[in-house]
């Protein structure tokens, strides 16, 4: 990987981290923790799903994470489960 | 370097409910409005308010605004300004109906009226039976209000600067506020937004404390911007804490858990609340339970490997009862702690929740500072919402009153700004020297070399604030706290960034936030040390009583010489009789 590419990977990471700054502490912890620990292990398609997940409203995300509702989109629903499971106590 | 500039009639900093309500009022009056927000607007913290918004609609039980006013004043432990409180409670019903018309889907009763739920601190007939005053849109009231206001602003052509970070206010030699220096988070480029009026609506500062319920964005930036512009902060010693937050994470476990029969134990398995409150035990008031938890941990009886929390036991209630009565709480515990509350005890610790203090304003939202006799507005500067101190919450906020605060005073500020713009039609010139200080603040983070990390110092600050300025306050502890925060302030000079790139350099943003937190921490600990009484959320073990003779007054902290000043509480309402201070018993 050359220097320029490295910069973009780092920038991409920071952009994601900022987009995981949400209006609720629960989401901050779930999303930021996931990006820090697990995001780099995702496949390219999963990464795109994660990008899509970030466009959902905070309230919808909260309801998915706390199983009060389920996302219609199967990929999103699966990702929600992975994020929930990735929480370290 | 040539600095990019944009001009607007009004610059609103913050896109929560407070900022958006004000912006809407202005945009609908054809003012040219810019809203700057460090996160996408609908990710503002207002979205977290699930409980609801207070208004005496009397849809479920008898009610009127005058009772609501009484409850708010009593809740404030008589530190709230009675004119502002009357104004807010009178305006409440109209504003809720207006929100409904704008599209907020409030839950309904069978007869079609807005549903209202009972909350703590609400009474009928000036302290009589429980009232039901909180209007809710299911569990998504804050979300519904925020999204509705955002859509309306888009329609009214408000100009949004999403993911822009406000750094400092711009003030000229005569003390007029001329806008702010902001920075695009994406590109790292600074931008000078010139405005005839600037409104701060940046929300609370829960991130001051290690354990808190607030989103990570709540770093009190607007409060620190005001301090640096020479404006004092009011009543910063009053910070609302809840006794039962999830240890190490902060999320709230509501009182319902103890209401249903939950109890607290220390590492010896002792039900320690019996020692602190022999009658009420685990159901004693919030501050008593919070202090007891602090003492248990402090004296070495905390649980866990570091002994830094106590246990909440609800397992004896049984899985069925828990799932039925406390489903959300249990799910949160399972997710964040990996603890099954039906089997094991739950680690908890007091958690910081709401910033009662803030930028002093009058009921038009104008930022005001004391002069020899009375006070005067800072020309061109307004503040609303959790960053402002009107003061309607005084020493303690009632649940459901802050969503009300942001819409009532958001609208009021919008209206006052419209009048101001009519009288001030032209932008005042900005000189190089007016921008210098803000630019120096920005470039300070270009410094390279070795030093301490932002995250490390922020962690230290939060731990210090929790230990020395949290729920257990004495002269000695606060004095130590003050010294420690001053030491952190010194060490801030040694903080350097390792990443100097421009694009999405979030480390730089976090450095600005840390500076802001340090300024506010000083204001908080100094104000708490100075106030030698217990009132509302500020409870001093060495001065356990409220002392109206000496302390029925607002505190003001100035950054420049770390001076404290005081101003009287406005005890005279607009039209009704004063509620004179009485002992606060529930
Ligand atoms: C868990 C929780 C539950 C709550 N429930 C209720 C409830 O049921 N009822 C109730 O009445 N109250 C409740 N509250 C309190 C209430 O939510 C807040 O007091 C209120 O929403 C604050 O609104 P605001 O407009 O002042 O600020 P916020 O909504 O916090 O918005 C602040 C805005 O400022 C922006 N900003 C901040 N700093 C900068 C900067 N430097 N540059 C650019 N932009 C910046 C942010 O991006 C954001 O847009 C609750 C609070 C919490 C923590």
* Per-residue confidence (pLDDT) for residue B93, from 0 to 100: 98
Which of A58, A66, A85, A87 to probe by mutation at the B interface, max B CB count within 10 Å? A58
Q: Do residues B221 and B34 make contact, with C-beta atoms less than 8 angstroms apart? A: no
- Of the candidates B277, B275, B336, B347, the one whose C-alpha atom is nearest the C-alpha of residue B306 is B347
C-alpha B34 to ligand 1 mean position (Å): 19
Please give the residue of chain A at the shortest CA–CA distance from B499.
A10
Pocket-forming residues, ligand 1, beta carbon under 6 Å: B 13-19, 36-39, 41, 44-46, 48-53, 142, 165-166, 201-204, 213-214, 217, 221, 353-354, 385-386, 399-403, 406
User: For B160-171, what is each residue's pLDDT tens digit?
Assistant: 999 999 999 999
Which of B41, B43, B346 to probe by mutation at the A interface, max A CB count within 10 Å? B43
Q: Do A25 and B249 touch (CB under 8 A)?
A: yes
Mutation to probe ligand 1, out of A18, A19, A23 (largest number of atoms < 8 A from CB): A23
Quickly state the pLDDT bin for B288 (edges 50, 70, 90). confident
Task: Reply yes or no on whether the pLDDT at B215 is more than 60.
Answer: yes
C-alpha B112 to ligand 1 mean position (Å): 30
Q: Using CA atoms, how far apart are residues B549 and B565, in angstroms rounded to an integer?
A: 17
User: For B2-42, what is each residue's pLDDT tens digit?
Assistant: 899 999 999 999 999 999 999 999 999 999 999 999 999 99
Nearby residues of B394 by Cβ (< 8 Å), 6 or more positions away: B73, B75, B76, B77, B78, B79, B80, B81, B235, B238, B356, B536, B569
Q: Which of B44, B499, B504 sits opposite A23 (nearest CB)?
A: B44
Q: Do B251 and A26 touch (CB under 8 A)?
A: yes
* Per-residue confidence (pLDDT) for residue A6, from 0 to 100: 61
Architecture per CATH, domain B244-352, reads as Alpha-Beta Complex (3.90)
Average pLDDT over residues B98-104: 95
Average pLDDT over residues B161-190: 97
Place of tokens 């610059």: B11
Q: Do residues B244 and B251 make contact, with C-beta atoms less than 8 angstroms apart? A: no
User: For B222-234, what is each residue's pLDDT tens digit?
Assistant: 999 999 999 999 9
Residues of chain A with C-beta less than 8 angstroms from the C-beta of B330: none
Share of chain B above pLDDT 70, in %: 99
Task: Reply yes or no on whether the pLDDT at B586 is more than 80.
Answer: no
Choice among B90, B286, B458, B535 that is catalytic: B286
CATH number of B444-548: 1.10.340.30, 1.10.10.10, 3.40.50.300, 1.20.58.100?
Answer: 1.20.58.100
Q: Which of A22, A29, A32 sits opposite B336 (nearest CB)?
A: A29
**A6-15, A40-49, B235-244, B465-474: segment of lowest average pLDDT:** A6-15
- Complete DSSP assignment for B157-219: TPEEEETEEEEEEEE-TTS-EEEEEEEETTT--EEEEEEEEEEE-----GGGSSSBSS-TT-S
Q: Using CA atoms, how far apart are residues B109 and B60, in angstroms rounded to an integer?
A: 8
Quickly state the pLDDT bin for A4 (edges 50, 70, 90). low
Q: Using CA atoms, how far apart are residues B539 and B290, in angstroms rounded to an integer?
A: 11
Task: Reply yes or no on whether the pLDDT at B498 is more than 90.
Answer: no
Q: Using CA atoms, how far apart are residues A13 and A36, in angstroms rounded to an integer?
A: 9
Task: Reply yes or no on whether the pLDDT at B584 is more than 80.
Answer: no
The angle at the Cα of B457, spanning B451 to B458, to the nearest 5 degrees, equals 140
Quickly state the pLDDT bin for B420 (edges 50, 70, 90). very high
Give the pair of three-digit tokens for residue B43: 């990710």
C-alpha B326 to ligand 1 mean position (Å): 26
Share of chain B above pLDDT 90, in %: 85
Q: Which atom of ligand 1 lies closest to the CA of B43?
A: 49
Please give the residue of chain A at the shortest CA–CA distance from B346.
A89
Q: Using CA atoms, how far apart are residues B128 and B162, in angstroms rounded to an integer?
A: 47
- Complete DSSP assignment for B364-407: T-EEEEE-SSSEEEEEEEEE-GGGEE-SSSTTSPPTTHHHHHHH
B286 catalytic per annotation: yes
Residues of chain A with C-beta less than 8 angstroms from the C-beta of B328: 66
C-alpha B212 to ligand 1 mean position (Å): 14
- Of the candidates B416, B359, B403, the one whose C-alpha atom is nearest the C-alpha of residue B202 is B359
C-alpha B60 to ligand 1 mean position (Å): 28
Average pLDDT over residues B110-130: 92
pTM attached to this predicted model: 0.96
Answer whether A69 touches B (CB < 8 Å). no
Q: Using CA atoms, how far apart are residues B85 and B70, in angstroms rounded to an integer?
A: 9
Q: Which atom of ligand 1 lies closest to the CA of B214?
A: 53
Q: Using CA atoms, how far apart are residues B33 and B382, in angstroms rounded to an integer?
A: 14
User: For B346-377, what is each residue's pLDDT tens digit?
Assistant: 999 999 999 999 999 999 999 999 998 899 99
Q: Using CA atoms, how far apart are residues A30 and A20, in angstroms rounded to an integer?
A: 9
Q: Which fold has domain B7-239+355-433?
A: FAD/NAD(P)-binding domain (3.50.50)
* Per-residue confidence (pLDDT) for residue A1, from 0 to 100: 45
Task: Reply yes or no on whether the pLDDT at B331 is more than 90.
Answer: no
Q: What is the mean pLDDT of chain B?
A: 95
- The three-state secondary structure class of A8 is helix
Beta strand B375-383 with B190-200: parallel, antiparallel or unpaired? parallel
Residue with CA at minimum distance from ligand 1 atom 13: B49
Task: Reply yes or no on whether the pLDDT at A3 is more than 80.
Answer: no
How many Cβ atoms from other residues are within 10 Å of residue A53's Cβ?
Answer: 20
Q: Which fold has domain A3-87?
A: DNA polymerase; domain 1 (1.10.150)
**B30-44, B290-304, B326-340: segment of lowest average pLDDT:** B326-340
Average pLDDT over residues B46-50: 94
Average pLDDT over residues B91-102: 97
* Per-residue confidence (pLDDT) for residue B500, from 0 to 100: 87
Quickly state the pLDDT bin for B459 (edges 50, 70, 90). very high
Average pLDDT over residues B389-399: 95
Q: Which of B140, B331, B501 sits opposite A66 (nearest CB)?
A: B331
Q: Do A84 and B335 touch (CB under 8 A)?
A: yes
Q: Which atom of ligand 1 lies closest to the CA of B387?
A: 26
Answer whether A26 touches B (CB < 8 Å). yes
How many Cβ atoms from other residues are within 10 Å of residue B343's Cβ?
Answer: 8
- Complete DSSP assignment for B267-285: TT---THHHH-TTTGGGS-
Quickly state the pLDDT bin for B323 (edges 50, 70, 90). confident
C-alpha B288 to ligand 1 mean position (Å): 27
Q: Do A66 and B186 touch (CB under 8 A)?
A: no
- Of the candidates A18, A60, A27, A57, the one whose C-alpha atom is nearest the C-alpha of residue B150 is A57
Residue with CA at minimum distance from ligand 1 atom 50: B49
**Helix/strand/coil (H, E, C) string of B15-55?**
CCHHHHHHHHHHHHCCCCEEEEECCCHHHCHHHHCCCCEEC
Mutation to probe ligand 1, out of B14, B216, B383, B409 (largest number of atoms < 8 A from CB): B14
Q: Which of A23, A25, A67 sits opposite B46 (nearest CB)?
A: A23
- Of the candidates B348, B338, B445, B353, the one whose C-alpha atom is nearest the C-alpha of residue B398 is B353
Average pLDDT over residues B538-556: 96
Q: Do residues B395 and B538 make contact, with C-beta atoms less than 8 angstroms apart? A: yes
Answer whether A59 touches B (CB < 8 Å). yes
Average pLDDT over residues B476-490: 98
Q: Where are the domains of chain A?
A: 3-87
Q: Where are the domains of chain B?
A: 7-239+355-433, 244-352, 444-548
* Per-residue confidence (pLDDT) for residue B119, from 0 to 100: 83
Q: Do residues B360 and B389 make contact, with C-beta atoms less than 8 angstroms apart? A: yes
- The three-state secondary structure class of B520 is helix
Task: Reply yes or no on whether the pLDDT at A14 is more than 70.
Answer: yes
Q: Using CA atoms, how far apart are residues B205 and B198, in angstroms rounded to an integer?
A: 20
């Amino acid at each position: 990987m050359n220097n320029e590419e490295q910069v973009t990977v780092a920038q991409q990471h920071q952009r994601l981290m900022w987009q995981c700054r949400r209006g609720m502490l629960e989401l901050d912890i779930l999303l930021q923790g996931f990006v820090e620990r697990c995001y780099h292990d995702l496949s390219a398609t999963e990464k795109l799903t994660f990008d899509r997940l970030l466009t959902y409203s905070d309230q919808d995300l909260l309801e998915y994470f706390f199983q009060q509702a389920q996302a219609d989109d199967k990929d999103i629903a699966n990702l929600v489960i992975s994020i929930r499971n990735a929480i370290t106590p | 370097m040539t600095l990019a500039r944009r001009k607007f009639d009004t610059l609103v900093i913050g896109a929560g409910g407070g900022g958006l309500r004000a912006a809407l009022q202005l945009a609908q009056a054809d003012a040219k409005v810019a809203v700057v927000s460090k996160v996408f607007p609908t990710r503002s913290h207002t979205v977290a308010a699930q409980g609801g918004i207070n208004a005496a609609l009397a849809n479920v039980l008898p009610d009127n605004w005058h009772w609501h006013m009484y409850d708010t004043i009593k809740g404030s432990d008589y530190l709230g300004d009675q004119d502002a409180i009357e104004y807010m409670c009178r305006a409440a019903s109209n504003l809720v109906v207006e929100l409904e018309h704008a599209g907020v889907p409030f839950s309904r009763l069978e007869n079609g009226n807005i549903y209202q739920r009972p909350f703590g601190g609400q009474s009928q007939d000036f302290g009589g039976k429980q009232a039901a005053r909180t209007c809710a849109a299911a569990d998504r009231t804050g979300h519904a209000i925020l999204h509705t206001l955002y859509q309306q602003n888009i329609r009214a052509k408000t100009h949004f600067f999403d993911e822009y970070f406000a750094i400092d206010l711009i003030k000229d030699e005569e003390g007029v506020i001329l806008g702010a220096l902001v920075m695009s988070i994406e590109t790292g480029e600074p931008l000078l937004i010139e405005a005839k009026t600037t409104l701060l609506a940046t929300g609370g500062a829960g991130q001051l404390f290690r354990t808190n319920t607030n989103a990570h964005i709540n770093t009190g930036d607007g409060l620190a911007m005001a301090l640096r512009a020479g404006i004092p902060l009011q009543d910063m010693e009053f910070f609302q804490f809840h006794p039962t937050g999830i240890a190490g994470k902060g999320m709230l476990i509501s009182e319902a858990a103890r209401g249903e029969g939950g109890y607290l134990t220390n590492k010896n398995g002792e039900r320690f609340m019996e020692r602190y409150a022999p009658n009420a035990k685990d159901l004693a008031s919030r501050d008593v339970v919070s202090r007891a938890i602090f003492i248990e941990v402090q004296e070495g009886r905390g649980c866990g490997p570091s002994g830094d929390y106590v246990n909440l036991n609800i397992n004896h209630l049984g899985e069925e009862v828990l799932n039925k009565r406390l489903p959300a709480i249990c799910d949160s515990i399972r997710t964040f702690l990996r603890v099954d509350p039906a089997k094991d005890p739950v680690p908890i610790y007091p958690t910081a929740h709401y910033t009662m203090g803030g930028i002093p304003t009058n009921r038009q939202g104008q930022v005001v500072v004391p002069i020899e006799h009375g006070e005067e507005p800072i020309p061109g500067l307004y503040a609303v919402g959790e960053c402002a101190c009107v003061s309607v919450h005084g020493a303690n906020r009632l649940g459901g009153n802050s969503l009300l605060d942001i819409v009532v005073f958001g609208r009021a500020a919008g209206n006052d700004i419209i009048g101001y713009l009519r009288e001030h039609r032209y932008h005042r010139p900005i000189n190089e020297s007016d921008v210098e200080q803000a630019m120096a603040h920005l470039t300070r983070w270009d410094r390279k070399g070795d030093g301490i990390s932002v995250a490390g110092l922020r962690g230290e600050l939060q731990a210090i604030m929790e230990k020395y300025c949290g729920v257990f306050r004495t002269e000695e502890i606060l004095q130590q706290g003050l010294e420690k925060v001053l030491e952190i302030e010194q060490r801030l000079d040694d903080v350097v960034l390792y990443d100097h790139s421009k694009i999405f350099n979030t480390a730089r943003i976090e450095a600005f936030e840390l500076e802001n937190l340090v300024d506010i921490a000083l204001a908080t600990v100094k104000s708490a040390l100075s106030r030698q009484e217990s009132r509302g959320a500020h409870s001093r073990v060495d001065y356990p009583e409220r002392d109206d003779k000496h302390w029925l007054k607002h505190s003001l902290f100035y950054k420049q010489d770390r001076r404290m000043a005081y101003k009287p509480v406005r005890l005279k309402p607009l039209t009704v009789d004063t509620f004179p201070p009485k002992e606060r018993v529930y």
